[in-house]
Chains A and B, each alone.
Chain A
Amino acid sequence: MKRVYVNEDWCLGCHLCEYHCSFANSGKSDMVKAFNGNTKTTPRIVIEEGDDINFAVQCRHCDEPLCVKGCIAGALTVTDGVITIDDTRCVGCYTCVLSCPFGCIVTDNEKVIKKCDLCISRTGEPACVKGCPNAAIVFEERG
């Protein structure tokens, strides 16, 4: 299946992916509205920055997803390889945060957790990939 892959050699640490992710998940029609309003959407992608190296991390959509297996509420499910969260079931216990080996389950002040759904329901192409200026994250089939 197509997944988002990171090539840290090309990540500039510009954080655009974060902003595109937030925007994509904000439900707003315009990026300015998504950020200059009262509520800001937490990005589902995390940038790690080092001295010479940067990279973005988001849900790997594991073949053996520990988050899904450990979910106490049956809120995380896999459909065609894509792991999604059902907001109405999540109780915010964070067992998935405990389980995810990549640290890709994101929490904010809201009750439920947030995670990357590959923008499947919105554009078909992950917004982070589309917004990356240097192809440091790509959406492709590998292996």
Chain B
Amino acid sequence: MLKKEGQIRIPSGCAISGFINRNGKRISGDQIVKSISYMHDRSNGLGGGFAGYGIYPEYKDLYAFHVFYEDSASREETERFLEEHFDIVNLSRIPTKKHKNITNEPLIWRYFLEPLPTKLAASQLEEKEFVAQSVININIKIDGAYVFSSGKNMGVFKAVGFPEDVGEFYRLDEYAGYAWTAHGRYPTNTPGWWGGAHPFALLDYTIVHNGEISSYDANRRFVEMYGYKCTLLTDTEVITYIIDFLNRKHNLSCEDIAKIIAAPFWSKIDTLPAKEKEKALLFRNMFSSLLITGPFSIILGFEGGIMALNDRLKLRSMVAAEKDDMVYIASEECAIRAICPEVDKIWSPKGGEPIIVTLNNGGDSYGN
């Protein structure tokens, strides 16, 4: 019998797409569904998903947890846990539409929460760390429950199926966000599990990823030293944790994170000006186990922006385009042209060179 995510390492090939409006203008989810649908052949029906930013303006200060439950027992247990640690402002099933290609769906719930001040104070943790640990706790400890989205004013929607079907299933045309990412999955070692679909998210970080990294276990064993637990054994999961670790725990910028996970070659470092060289050397030395090798193209979503990055040898395809205040990134050009036929500029980013786009005006991430 095939093992699912968490029981065995799951490599996978994929399609990714994403876009952002620099001015925070909110765009309907049907655009991202259309874009990813053009790369149908890059998926095999075993997973599709989306992340939208700026989609919950009415609850923008609350953590939005999206949770899969295998049964009501796990829901009850989870809700007990949530009630213990959080103030649950709103809870509901996530609206879906029956779709012939989407089957075996679990219970899919959404909670808008904020940590209970007493619990937060007692934990002596920062708020985000408190939330992250809570997510990890649920995912590890509560059998049958899986939190797949946990950021503010953003949400992940994923399922087993082709991404365009998943988009319809989740009725994404009813959401609007300033940034969207999408993923069509082509895994080679799983029967397909809803939790294992992409994007993978922790807090407001989401990752869609195309590739199969060969540094996986080196990366995993390193981040696990710092309180992370890679339960899914997927690349996306470990990349998300790495980014969370570097950004949230080390306060490093996206640019610096790119210099660590797709570090410049030593030969390139040798040619850098002294100050840059010192930094690059230290990064590579200090975070050597966070270098990601093997093919990948990723789109990282976060509050107020997205970053796209290729592995340093550019072993996976990825193109980027601009049109007015829009920036598009996708595995294939067709996925961009599908929703933006006339672009101002289109290019193929070099391996290891990040594309980082944040909202103008210091990030009015709510796009109002």
A–B touch (CB < 8 A): the answer is: no
Seen from chain A, the residues whose Cβ lies within 8 Å of a Cβ on chain B are: none
